Structure 1
Amino acid sequence: MRQHYLIEVAQNDQLVVFCPKDILQGKQIKRIAFGSKSIAVDFFPHPDEIDRIVISRKIQKAIQFPDFTIPLHAFIENQILYIGPLVGIFTAGFTSIPLQPIGERTLFFSKLLSVNKTVGALAFVFGEQHIDWEQGTIEGYFFHNHAWETIEVPFPNVIYDRLPNRKSERNPKLMKVRDRLQNEYLIPWYNPGFFNKLDIYELLLKDVQVTEYLPETQPFTSFSTIETMLAKYGHIFIKPKNGSLGLGIHQVIFDKQSGSYYCRYQDEAYINRLRKFVSLDRLFQSVFAHQSLEKMIVQQGISLLRNETRSIDFRVHTNKDDYGKWQVSAIAAKIAGHGSVTTHARSGGDIKTLAEIFPKEEADLYFEKLTSAALQLSKSLDSNIEGIIGEIGFDLGIDRKGNVWLFEANSKPGRSIFSHPELKEVDFLTRKLSIAFAVFLTEQALLHPEELFK
């Protein structure tokens, strides 16, 4: 982690900044900036030789620096000292409840903002209604001293997209905000959008480095596609292209001996069902009567590792760090509920660490395989997807021969795996890296903007 400095506000009205000597050495600095606001000031080395940057009350008001004592990074470019980064987290779904300003997601955001001091960044949450375009300011939600408060701050150095769902992502008003901040104000915007399963598959299929991880996946076009894939693999999965949380997934199994078809799925009451049919036609008439099949994909079934009789898949989180490098930040095993088509907790699934279900040698081997696959897939998606990606959640499987398979990649991964007590530490790491990546983006935007905005 790069060095950061405590920012302190002195009770005077001088346009003077006191800095550690190492910041000023051999440099001519004429302005100080915070987010999009800057002011001309004089710089002097701190007389007590301490690692902090001291600004006056007058400077604080001019650059709209919150009245916090917090460690931040210092970036110097074009004779300007930038303190930050100031990170705006863009979302929707705000409420008028002071203790729950972002509804049910308030706890998630309070935990996300709690990494500020560790990372050396100042992050806040905002929506489109909090922007004052004329003044170039935002009424941001800060979580400080275990409480929420709103403070007017300048436009941030970078923006982290945490829109909650595809509906908000497609909202024309929110799309306009993103386009304007990105294109007019040149603010780097990371993790935009939700992944489409078929688009991701087709992108990765072009990269020979990762094709070994891809189960055959086809758009639903006809029953003959399903018949062919069932004959080839014995069972398949039918999934919504834009689904999430395991909703709408069906497993179709063909029993060659009896000629029967089975369908495993979760009904509208969230009850796990397994039904038998004499023909594929009957199965679709019964199970898919009210579903838009053109919005579905068909995916090769994999014979996965099992814990007793229950299949196992793995959630692997990857994040970019403050140097822009991909890291695996969390790995957990998810065990399917009895009779369930997915490993989600809602369907009776359990979350375990690798050490809980495998002997040490096996756990180490699977950890290495999952890590290698997730890093390769992250780099491949990063190279081929438009926009800046800072984190990905992968659902990976390992078959009985030890091969790794990609089932899904999520641009805004859920966090249910972190309910496991052994994963609290990596829960913090994923949140820390989510904000630490903003340090890298801020530096890039100042020093190498051509790389970000090409």
Structure 2
Amino acid sequence: MPSKKITVQIMSPGILEDDILVLGDNLIKQWKIPTHLSLLLAFGSFRHRVKVIPLSRTDGVRMSQELARKMGIQQKSPLRLTYRPHSSTIQFGPLLGVLLSQDYPGNPEKPFGQITLFCKELVNACYRQGVYVYFFTPKHIGTNSGQLSGWVYGNGWKQTQVPAADVFYNRLTSRKLENKPSVQHFMKEVKSRYGSHFFNEKYLDKNEVFEALSHDASLLRYLPESHLFRNFAMLKTMCSKYSTVFLKPVKGSLGKGIIRISRLEGGAYQTLTAQVGGTRKQIYPSLSKLFSSLSGKMKTTRYQIQQGLHLIEVDHRPVDFRALVQKNISGKWNTTSIVGRIAGSQHFVSNLARGGSLSTVKDAIARSSLPAGIKGKISVRLKRAALEIAQGVDAQLPAHFGEFGIDLAVDVNGRVWLLEVNSKPSKNDNTPMGEGKIRPSVKQVIEYTRFLSGF
């Protein structure tokens, strides 16, 4: 039975009992909802026995203030409703819980700092589709996995008690938080106890992704040669094969700590290290001296060593592409957007946090030095690569993902390469387009929530 979007009207105290639900006559007839039986009301992990009373000329639902408080919902909230006759259940939802790294209760205007705008955009998108959303952090998780404290929006941000959600969207931006025993236990509990879905379940490390994709022969054409960096012999082999190699922290993000190694004439080597203020350049007389300088770092940081690529450039700056690939209302992967990222003048990495700038794919390709005959094919190649890589990661890794930020590069011959797959694409870089506007990327998260929850 398809769900119907309705508005919840919360009655003043004393008008309705907590076990009474008032529904429109038409809805009761359409779904053959029995009015003489005790039915189960479900909302996320919340369960309550109710009796339905019909009311003519109403499209919404009326409930007591106490029942709404137990459900954690606000006045005039649009929700979807469906009746499941086999279990005599009236189900409201879907309920979406968004897990964030941090909140700032002392700043009720911007309780989530930089990503508050994104959260408000998510609220607006949910409101339009009849999805109820709340936001919480690891510190809101208590001993009872069926109930937690969360932020909701209704005439401003406020905290309230909410049930465990049908679907959880993991937006934690720290591996340390994600691996906390309380977070891991909570994820396990809500999945096994309440059948909740948890997507973007975990951070990916670079080596894990390349290792997984190498098992799919159809994806090998996108993979530069990459290994977990272990010893001098590996450095020597890679540097003899390629004039440039990259060392990338396996768990790094935002381009931090990437080292580019280039072979110079006369046996010397140059390193460029990505730092916050720019790029640090060093020259070593030999490869063994270079390796000695790295050995200290290798004790604390695991690196992936990767073949260097001759990327296309715009104004003598390397350019790469970030594709956002998401699952849609049918649960299938599709490419939501692709943007070009041009490295800043003092950097060899293109991340916006390192001074890079955004460009459309069309403009970046037009301004590049690619031969004219190839330029027209790049957009289609990028889209296809992003989609195939997303499907490959999803098939090869045993975790639930709903979106990926996939970094792709194009070399001077027009070949597309994979640089990195990110399971927590940033929501700070692309600010919302203004009050009331909802980007396709945000709409897609809500549609995938509906797919997972059966609404």
**TM-score when normalising by structure 2:** 0.86
Moved more, 363-372 or 286-295: 286-295
Residue 143, structure 1, aligned to residue 153, structure 2: yes
Q: CA deviation at 1:316?
A: 0.6
Equivalence for 1:295: 302
Q: Hey, what does 2:23 align to over in structure 1?
A: 18
Report the counterpart of residue 115 of structure 1 in structure 2: 125
Deviates more, 1:39-48 or 1:178-187: 39-48
What is aligned with 1:7? 7
The aligned amino acid for 1:381 is V
Q: 2:163 is matched by which residue type in structure 1?
A: P
Letter in structure 2 aligned against 1:125: F
* Partner Cα separation in structure 2 for residue 25 and residue 277 of structure 1: 78
1:266 pairs with 274, 281, 284, which one? 274
Give the distance between the partners of 2:221 and 2:336, measured in 1 at CA: 23
Cα deviation code 1:265-305 (max 9, x no counterpart): 234x6331333322112223346644437611101111111
After TM superposition, the structure 1 = structure 2 runs for residues 143-162 of structure 1, keeping only pairs within 5 Å, are 143-145=153-155, 147-162=156-171
Q: Is structure 2 residue 398 aligned with structure 1 residue 375?
A: no
2:412 aligned to which of 400, 406, 412? 400
Matched ranges for 1:355-366 at <5 A: 355-359=362-366, 365-366=377-378
Distance in 2 separating the partners of 1:118 and 1:133 = 33
What SS class does the counterpart of residue 358 from structure 1 fall into? helix
Report the CA distance shift for 1:259/1:46 in structure 2 as closer, same or farther (over 3 A): farther
SS in structure 2 at match of 1:323: coil
Segments of structure 1 that go 5 or more residues without pairing to the other structure are 445-454
Shift of 1:90: 1.9
Task: Show CA shifts across 1:48-105 (max 9, x none).
Answer: 3x7x431222684375251232333233332212121111112333334142433444
Residue pairs, 1:206-285, within 5 angstroms? 206-255=215-264, 257-267=265-275, 270-285=277-292
Would you say the 8 A contact 1:91–1:126 is kept in 2?
Answer: yes
> Is the Cα contact below 8 Å between 2:432 and 2:438 reproduced in 1?
no
- Once the two structures are TM-superposed, the CA of residue 199 in structure 1 deviates from its matched residue by 0.8
User: Matched residues in 1 for 2:145 and 2:209: separation?
Assistant: 40
Specify whether residues 341 and 293 from structure 1 end up closer, same or farther in structure 2 by C-alpha distance, changes over 3 A only.
farther
| Aligned residue type for 1:440 | F
Contact 1:318-1:393 at 8 Å conserved across structures: yes
Question: How far is 1:339 from its partner?
Answer: 4.5
Mapping of 1:47-66 within 5 angstroms?
47-48=56-57, 52-57=59-64, 60-61=67-68, 64-66=71-73
Between stretches 386-395 and 177-186, larger displacement belongs to 177-186
**1:249 shift after superposition:** 0.3
What are the within-5 Å matches in structure 2 for residues 51-90 of structure 1? Answer: 52-57=59-64, 60-61=67-68, 64-77=71-84, 78-90=87-99
How far residue 331 of structure 1 moved from its aligned partner, in angstroms, is: 1.0
Aligned partner letter, 1:7: T
Structure 2 residue identity aligned to 1:92: S
Deviates more, 1:322-331 or 1:133-142: 133-142
Contact 1:60–1:66, Cα closer than 8 Å, also in 2: no
Percent identity, aligned pairs only, is: 27
Contact kept in structure 2, 1:249 and 1:341, CA below 8 Å: no
In 2, Cα distance between equivalents of 1:417 and 1:130? 27
Q: Deviations over 1:196-239 (max 9, x none)?
A: 11111111111122221111111112222222222222111101
Decide whether the 8 Å contact of 2:352 with 2:429 is kept in 1.
no
Q: Which residue in the other structure is 1:434 paired with?
A: 445
Q: Which TM-score applies when normalising by structure 1?
A: 0.86
Between stretches 125-134 and 79-88, larger displacement belongs to 125-134
Query: Contact between 1:192 and 1:388, CA under 8 Å: does it hold in 2?
Result: yes
What does 1:318-337 correspond to in 2, within 5 Å? 318-337=325-344
What is the aligned length? Answer: 437
Instruction: State how far apart, in whole Å, the 1-side matches of 2:211 and 2:119 are.
Output: 33
Match for residue 452 of structure 1? none
2:190 matched residue in structure 1: 181
- Give yes or no for contact 2:274–2:349 (8 Å, CA) kept in 1: no
Letter in 2 for 1:120: G
CA distance in 1, matches of 2:77, 2:220: 46
Letter matched to residue 385 of structure 1: L
Q: Structure 1 residue 308: deviation in Å? A: 2.4
Which of 397, 405, 411 in structure 2 is aligned with 1:385?
397
SS where residue 192 of structure 1 aligns? Answer: coil
Instruction: Letter of the 2:180 partner, please give it.
Output: N
Which is further off, 156-165 or 276-285? 276-285
User: What's the offset of the Cα at 1:365?
Assistant: 3.0
Cα distance in 2, alignment partners of residues 358 and 424 from structure 1 = 32
**What SS class does the counterpart of residue 158 from structure 2 fall into?**
strand
Residues 5 and 80 of structure 2 are in contact (CA less than 8 Å); yes or no, is this contact kept in structure 1? yes
Q: How far apart, CA to CA, are the structure 2 residues paired with 1:112 and 1:58? A: 26
Asked if the contact 1:351–1:417 (Cα under 8 Å) also holds between the matched residues in 2, the reply is no
Give 3-state SS (helix, strand or coil) of 1:209's partner. Answer: helix
Q: Does 1:126 align with 2:133?
A: no
Q: 1: CA distance between counterparts of 2:266 and 2:28? A: 77
SS at match of 2:106: coil
Q: Return the alpha-carbon distance in structure 2 between the equivalents of residues 416 and 132 of structure 1.
A: 28
Q: Counterparts of 1:425 and 1:373 in 2: how far apart (Å)? A: 33
2:201 maps to which residue?
192
Structure 2: give runs of 5+ residues left out of the alignment: none
